[in-house]
Amino acid sequence: NLVGALVARRGAAALRVVVDDLTTTGASLAEARRALAEAGTPASGCAVVAATPRRRGDRHGQGWGRVRSP
């Protein structure tokens, strides 16, 4: 469980992109987006280099599925 594991500092950057080398459940991306939003600088998007294939009925992790950015 990664909830509360990441913290972001307030910044003036207009564009914030969360990048992950590998996503399995999406929990890391979801936590990074949460930390950025809490700091007042929400993510503009997310990018992933590789993802593990989804198995039918597999729903591990709170961030499973597509991670959408506003």
pLDDT of residue 63: 44
Please state the rounded mean pLDDT for residues 46-51. Answer: 87
Please state the rounded mean pLDDT for residues 13-34. Answer: 86
- The 3-state secondary structure of 39-55 reads CCCCCCEEEEEEECCCC
Is 66 or 38 the better-scoring residue by pLDDT?
38
Is 46 or 62 the better-scoring residue by pLDDT?
46
Report d(CA 9, CA 26) in Å as an integer.
Answer: 22
Is 62 or 10 the better-scoring residue by pLDDT?
10
Report d(CA 14, CA 54) in Å as an integer.
Answer: 33
